[in-house]
Structure 1
């Protein structure tokens, strides 16, 4: 155990018991903290609200009370939320997180001093060894600085003032609802009576004040309006009345008074016709006694007018610049919007798949739409009978649904060659027949080498497809071209789906690679 002292404060004594593992012999009973007798020391009792030598916020706040420190020491392993609820139940303050660790280290004897520990008067304890031994007072000759624990007196003084002082010395402040409710054998009837009487007196005074105000308002309304106005406003020279709120006369009354005075003076030759009713000159304020204008005042006035004119012109020029700038921005935005709309209109047009006119390709205008949409192949003669011999349109629309789960994509299949360069940029595929004359009308400026029958550049920009029956041989020219050869079985229609998938898969791969190069911006 730490060295025992006959003169120890509550914090030092609590540290000695804690270091000796005797914390279970320190108990909190009602308004006091009892230290049970141990070897070499009798029973010691402190007021539970006795202030210790440890101040909150590492020495910047108020001292912690003994019951708060004891409750922390006995519940240091509890979760923080349970510890806060426990302090509320016991009606004491809680030790903040900042002070918790250094205070625990000091009370455990790990350190001799901490930042929040400050000097306090040592309390002299009576140690007789009996059960009723109590701490009576601070040691003689020491001036208390407010940190000494409040003693509990066992003798009842005969003087009422001394008795009242003793009661006030040990009383506790009820700081919250919980501490008030935990106060034993406490009734609040007296406090309720005093509060009720004070509230009733306040209401009587308030009602009396309201009645007096109403009576004054009623007397003011009943009075004669002319008398009320005469009492509220004073007059100047019998006509100009002073407003009691502003302390000035009205403009109309001042003007009438001035005109009457001028009329009176004019009859007797004393009127001054060169001044206004307020004493200022009717003409220039800079006029002299002989009606001459002061040159300096005239120069100042001219300079002021010139400055104002320059400011006005500057503001007008600035306003015009702002207006021109806004007009330019408006035109610029309009042009950008027009350009963007044109691009959207351009790039939102459907991709184009070129077919060969006539019947040289087994996929033509009679059966292309059915095959590209549903993957069903029909010979063109059968398809012609299905449409009752009507000639189909050379340009048709195809709604692609293969590998497009969100919404179908619209394609355009046509036998007619595009007429503009923008339309040629939309061409993504061509169905070849194996004959070179098929590309005779293609623009030679867009496909280099076409005039020399070199189709490498053509099939690098357009995805070529050659549809043929599996029983027919592939022409030698087609074998040399960079085109996708897709075979159609004449008899087994369940194999049409394979050809259908091969067409769209190859086209997707070709367009994806072309989009990476920036050569194809249309949705496909």
Structure 2
């Protein structure tokens, strides 16, 4: 008989008191003996098979509250029956129902142990290491060497897994009510932000000075590390002139709106482009010390100490000189016509032929929010309101399109 059927039989007969634990096994009177860790044929809604130890402890403690049952079981290090399984399991063990979908009789039946023969239990491991049995004394009709009764085939991995009790996974933690994990994100990025800011200030003077001495075509595909040029093409190229559609001399400029209606501003552009993390501008304003910066240097990197290129980010187009406009390569658009008032271009067609435009939006915003910009030659970049791990992909898309545009413009 299998362990589940034996337990049901003793429960229906009201003989649970005859089930006694001796060492690592349960003895059902003088009828049966099973290992405590033997898996039964009853499968939990969580997917695992309940062990005999779990079911016996449960059926003997159905009279106490569930929370008290769980606490007591944990004290004794016994796996528990989950709340969704309690009712149907108890009805089956008490004989109120004959079966249910959770029962899978796949465990080999255990032979009946003679009532009159005292059991001398010892571990037996035949060629198959997954088989565990008991050895009992021989009688007159059987040879003692062959008196090995295999109780069941044990899956040791499942036995170990049964002792593990997952409390919460990553998704359930993030879905907790009344908890705001945004502050955790801000705190976790603050230290890295400060380190990056210090490094940026230390390198800015030397990097900007060197960049201003080199033509954009000479700089576009080059790499610098501690003053050493690591470019793809080391052949010197002539400097560019401030004519046509080529990039002017100096560090390329990215323009962002000064209004808070847009997602990317001069306050949070550095974290987004350098670190791939979107932090709302109003949060960054609260973190800032000192006045609003007129210019922010943003670096595209291969790694922490390998800079690909540097860009100046500004939000006051009116402060640009005529020669500065030749260095403008990108603009984050607000989606309003007045953003381009007094720009030195004829119309939107000319603007977005010479400057690549980006429009940042939340992915679940209405279509109306991008209705105007869809008429312009700009790239729409969507980010999630809550899934910050997706920000990096959006930032990389901006870099890829920007660098492709700069290369094509440099070779025009």
**What TM-score bracket applies, with the shorter chain setting the length?**
0.3 to 0.5
Say which structure is richer in strand. 2
Mark the structure with the bigger radius of gyration.
1
Greater RCO, CA 8 A, separation 6+: 2
Q: TM-score, normalised by structure 1?
A: 0.30
Q: TM-score, with normalisation over the residues of structure 2?
A: 0.38
